[in-house]
Structure 1
Amino acid sequence: MRKIKYFLLVTLLYIASVIAIGYIESQNPDGNIKDIGDAFWFAIVTLTTVGYGDLYPVTILGKIIGLVLILGSIGILGIIISEITNKINSYMEKKKNGFYGTDFKNHYIIIGYNDFALKVGKEIISTGHKIAFLTNAKDDLEKINTHFNHQNCFSLLAEYKDEEKYEKLNFKAAKSVFINFEEDADTLVFVLNAKKAYPNLEYVALCNNTELKGTFENAGVKYVVSPLEVTSKLVASYIFEPEVATYTEDLISSSKNKEDSDIQQYKILTNSFYHNKSFNTAFHELKDNYDAIAIGVVKDNKVYKNPSSDYILSINDYIILISNGASKKGLEDIFGIKEGK
């Protein structure tokens, strides 16, 4: 407010000086500043440091006021440049912090950032999907912007309890939300608050205490991930079935090149080739034409492993299959949608 008052005062004095020099110079028959319009032209040329030299004061008093205008121009120009610079810097900082929100749709939201979230984000982006991060740490924001580009990743700096900021992540248009906190209590609080505002969203949460899985599910978390359980199963497999464990680890990772294989799921749309086809027909068609192996179906969020051959595929079912990176483009074309939910 003080800066605005100072700017207004300087501006008023500047305008008064322009009017004064216009009046004084117009009274002199030898002067080339004939009226107020000429005076403002002289002032503008002086302010912008152009200095054409076509108009200038000739009287002593006019020159003194002209000197005031020149010095005042430096001050006003400095204020204007400073304000413009501050506005630009403020805009860029707000944009960097995600305060203007994102228009991402059908994206995945990750709440909380660490090395684990980084790996999850890279896996999602490698499948061609977009992600949005929410973090409360400035340093994490810098790391996110270093690892991901703005075309497929949006990041927001805000407090986790600030529910009004959730809209900037475009929660309503997201596919699912992954809550990645170190403390299970923080995860539970976030889920309860988010479910009130966005009850129809699918929530996936990290749970460090396996005894709380039931509590998380009752709170509305659809998929509860326990790192300890997953790790213990994989380690046990490495102990007595190392080759199977290696293959399993490869399958649960997104394919990075044409040779990599992974497990994918594709939704059956209205115009899908597989609509009203039997699982057996889909199995052979996928194997013969895309070198992909169908291993299951998801219907109404329930997984059917290796369903019967005469199972009829319906709209909104998902086919779960194994394929390599070379087949992904063809699979996306035939299903008319990218892998995943």
Structure 2
Amino acid sequence: MRLTLIAGARPNFIKIAPLIDAIKAHNNSGKKKIDYRLVHTGQHYDRNMSESFFKELGISEPDDNLGAGGGTQAEQTANIMVRFEEHLRNNPTDCVLVVGDVTSTLACSIVAKKMVTDVAHVEAGIRSGDLAMPEEINRMVTDAITDHFFTTSHTANENLQKSGVPDSKVHFVGNVMIDSLLKHQPRFTPPAIYAEKELKPQQYFVLTLHRPSNVDDPTHFFAIIQAIMESVKDLPVIFPVHPRTARNIEQSGIVMPPNLVLAEPMSYLQFNYLVQQAKAVITDSGGITEETTVMGIPCITLRNSTERPETVTIGTNELIGANPAAIAPQLEKIMEGKWKKGGIPELWDGKASERIIAILSGLYS
């Protein structure tokens, strides 16, 4: 079997790493060999977004880096498609495996299907219902042309069934992001800021914000910051700043409160160390809510919808919307130790990648 793995952005790297491990274990077991190629689209080209993740997660150098770079949604999608088409023409494969919901996922799926090549989608079927999110469009289009659907939850299975996908094509396998988390958890490393600010376990918060609805309007953004800082008393809030958010802060001229600690984007092992020791996380990300659920860390999500509802119904996450007024009551629960304990969703056990590779091996044997 020939398999092409696509990675383009930070969440992709975290999900691809355990799949490569599973392929290597499969090949070392004496079973029919899987020949694979790793293609890095170049969607994320910042070192902390790319190279450091490859090194920390033990991913070997990609077989090809398409170097697509940045640009608008359309420019980036087009660049990836043109370059991946050339790669696939020169390197035919039985199946192109894409993960998650970034631009690379969409672009490479379209190219593969137009070149009459199967597509396997890892993390298929998740939906937020919010078409203002580029990721939601990426998910919907990718799933509309996918051949093999690998899902993280029963909700994702139901979403695919409702859209007419035959049960025979849907494989409930668990969460590959959690495979990486559990494997590397013993190796989490404190970032320099942990010692610099003399942080102590459960005596600080972690904040991540990057969605346009939260950070593009300076008035709304600062209202969120104020609501958080007024509710955490004197505890520090560590804010690894996404490049997009950093630009908005600089352009707004807003002076941030002294106990809000702005930090550079961190590597995978450093950021998760910070999260694991935090009192709670405040975010508008999706993937972080999965990691906090497994680590048992309270999480507040500043969004009106989530594509990962199991982190709310089962896990430690609460979806509170984007209204700053909703923040204080939730932080009060955390400060008083009244947050829900939460549990871990089914099959989030560190073995999802093994299941995926076993299934693909059987399909193409």
TM over 0.5: no
Higher RCO, Cα 8 Å, sep 6+: 2
Greater gyration radius: 1
TM (normalized to structure 1)? 0.31
TM (normalized to structure 2)? 0.29
Structure with greater proportional helix content: 1
